[in-house]
Each structure stands twice: as C-alpha cells, then as structure tokens.
C-alpha cells in the first residue's frame, strides 16, 4: 500500500470469528430465525462442525450471562494473535460497552484460548473478496466523499467481514485507531427462507454502499463533533424529557449527511428513502445541507457548526 493514498480494505479477523462461534453456540437456538446465521458453505465449514461443543465453559458463560449484544465478539480485538490481552487497553470504554467481558478481559482470554484449543479452530475461510473490492474501487467512494466535504483528505477504511453475523453492522472505536482511519464490522445478509446451504457470495449492494459512506463520513466529521458538541449541548440532550427519543447527536449528524451524499450521487429518491428511515432530527441536517450545496464557497466546517446550532435549539 502506497502512502498518502485513500484505501479501503476488507478481511476476516480470526479472533472475532472464534468468539462469534461461541456466541452463536450460546444463543442460536433462542433467537428469531430472521437473525440466525445465513446457512452458507462458510456456515457449514466454519460453524456447524463446532456445535458439539455447546457445553464449553465459554459458551455457557455467554448463554447464562447478561451481555448478548451482537457486537460482543469484537471485544476479542483487545487480544493479540495469541489471544493474550494487549497493552494500553481502554478498560473504561470496553467495560461500558461489553460489561463483564471488558472488565474481565484476562478471564475472557483464558476461556477463549481453551475454546480455540478444544474445538481445534480452523481459519481457512476461502472467501473471495475480489468482486466486493472491485465494486468499492469502481464506485469511487472516497472520491465522492472528498468532493462532498471539499477536501483532499487521505482516509483508511478497514472493514471486518463477519460472515456468521446477520444482526449488526458496528463501528469499532476502542482499538486506538490512527487519525483518519475507521474500523467497522459488516454483516452478511441473506434472503428467506434460510433453510438450505448456499455459497457465500459477498456482493456490493445498496446496503453496503450506505454503510461504507456512513462509516467513512465519520473520518471527516469526528474532529468537528468533538469541537462543537460541548457539555452544554450534552446536558440538553440528556434531559429527562428526551429520554425516550433518539439523541445520539453524532449519529444524527452523520445519518443526515449520508442521506444527502446518497441523494447527490444516486438521485433524490435514494436520498429521500434513506432520510425517511433515520431519526427525525436527521431531517434537519439533510435539509440544511442544501445551503451548503448551493454555496460553492462555503466551508464544510461552517455548515457543520451551523447545523449543530440548529440541533441545539431543538433540545432547549
């Protein structure tokens, strides 16, 4: 990889997949069929063969615990290639996000090491990423984003493909990523009925396009959010009267921005469809960005600041 080049990479992480196997062994029988893993050749070769290990202590811990969020397997990224805890772990963040597993990363490490040995874990995934990578390049996502944000930022987007995960796409923020780098997990989706084994084929589609634009946009906006989301704003959105309303301002901003980027590049209908599925206050972002689009001289930071001011008024 050359320096100072925009890059988007995709891979499977052994640590995440190992914990994902234990995770689904613990919960698969109790979850809705619509979110069970897709029955692919990957499922057959890299999950089904381990079902006899359902009594392993790690599986039992997950099954009887109180932390079942679908992004739980990503906590394994706090471990090195030998599944030992890394240095400089942000324990506060991973404890907030993963509960017992973050607080007791040493215990998780021991359980995971034993689980890997017990099941004789294999990692010969044989997934063809080339069509997906080719689509990423041909769609020129980073070029589209640089044009929208009126900058020439060099970004590095790292995608972790999670073939057994049909539940959640999730940004990973606890791994101390370098500036201008974004790491996130993506699902593998399949159509119903999910009752027969099919080949795993990772193909670029509108969902992945939206996810990549959204996650990449955080690289451009994170510093601005830190700059303009102050303690006063935080106290406003966390008032009791808003407790049942979605009020993650960072996400509200980026979701509105993503919808506008989709509109500009793929048509108004695509943008409207996207914004109609987002929190209501993302519509403020989406509409206000028209001022930015119409003014070629306007700096993105200026419109970001103005939108934040508009959003703050909604929470007074």
Per-residue pLDDT, averaged over 300-307, amounts to 98
Please check the confidence at residue 271 and state whether its pLDDT lies above 60. Answer: yes
pLDDT in tens, 197-237: 999 999 999 999 999 999 999 999 999 999 999 999 999 99
Question: Which pLDDT belongs to residue 166?
Answer: 94
Question: Which pLDDT belongs to residue 316?
Answer: 87
Q: How confident is the model at residue 195 (pLDDT cuts 50, 70, 90)?
A: confident
pLDDT in tens, 79-137: 999 999 999 899 999 999 999 999 999 999 999 999 999 999 998 888 999 999 999 88
Question: Which pLDDT belongs to residue 284?
Answer: 98
Per-residue pLDDT, averaged over 24-53, amounts to 94
Question: Which pLDDT belongs to residue 256?
Answer: 98
Q: How confident is the model at residue 1 (pLDDT cuts 50, 70, 90)?
A: very low
Percent of the chain clearing pLDDT 90 (strictly above): 84
Q: How confident is the model at residue 2 (pLDDT cuts 50, 70, 90)?
A: very low
Please check the confidence at residue 3 and state whether its pLDDT lies above 50. Answer: no
Please check the confidence at residue 24 and state whether its pLDDT lies above 90. Answer: yes
Percent of the chain clearing pLDDT 70 (strictly above): 98
What's the pTM? 0.90
Sign of CA dihedral 29, 31, 34, 37: negative
Question: Which pLDDT belongs to residue 5?
Answer: 67
Q: How confident is the model at residue 192 (pLDDT cuts 50, 70, 90)?
A: confident
Report how far residue 303's alpha carbon sits from residue 107's, in angstroms, rounded to the nearest whole number: 47
Task: Give me the chain's average pLDDT, please.
Answer: 94
List, edge to edge, every strand of the sheet that includes 156-161. Answer: 7-11, 156-161, 181-186, 170-171
Please check the confidence at residue 149 and state whether its pLDDT lies above 50. Answer: yes
Per-residue pLDDT, averaged over 269-298, amounts to 98
Q: Strands 156-161 and 170-171: what pairing?
A: unpaired
Per-residue pLDDT, averaged over 235-245, amounts to 94
């Amino acid at each position: 990889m050359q320096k100072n080049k925009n890059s988007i990479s995709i891979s499977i992480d052994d640590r995440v997949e190992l914990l994902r196997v234990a995770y689904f062994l613990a919960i698969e029988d109790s979850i809705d069929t619509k979110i069970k893993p897709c029955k692919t050749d990957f499922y057959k070769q890299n999950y089904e063969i381990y079902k006899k290990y359902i009594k392993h202590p790690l599986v039992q811990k997950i099954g009887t615990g109180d932390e079942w969020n679908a992004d739980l397997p990503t906590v394994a990224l706090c471990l090195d290639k030998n599944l030992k805890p890394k240095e400089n772990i942000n324990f506060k963040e991973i404890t907030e996000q993963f509960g017992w597993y973050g607080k007791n990363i040493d215990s998780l490490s021991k359980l995971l090491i034993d689980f890997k040995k017990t099941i004789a874990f294999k990692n010969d995934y044989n997934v063809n990423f080339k069509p997906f990578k080719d689509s990423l390049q041909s769609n020129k996502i980073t070029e589209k984003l640089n044009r929208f944000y009126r900058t020439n930022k060099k970004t590095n987007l790292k995608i972790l493909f999670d073939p057994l995960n049909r539940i959640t796409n999730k940004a990973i923020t606890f791994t101390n990523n370098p500036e201008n780098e974004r790491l996130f997990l993506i699902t593998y989706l399949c159509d119903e009925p999910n009752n027969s084994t099919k080949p795993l084929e990772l193909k670029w589609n509108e969902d992945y396009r939206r996810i990549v634009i959204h996650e990449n946009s955080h690289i451009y906006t994170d510093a601005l959010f830190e700059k303009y989301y102050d303690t006063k704003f935080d106290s406003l959105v966390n008032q009791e009267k808003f407790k049942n309303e979605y009020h993650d301002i960072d996400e509200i901003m980026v979701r509105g921005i993503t919808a506008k980027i989709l509109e500009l590049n793929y048509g108004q209908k695509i943008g409207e469809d996207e914004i109609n599925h987002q929190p209501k206050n993302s519509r403020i972002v989406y509409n206000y960005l028209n001022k930015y689009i119409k003014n070629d001289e306007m700096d993105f930071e200026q419109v970001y600041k103005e939108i934040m001011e508009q959003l703050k008024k909604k929470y007074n």
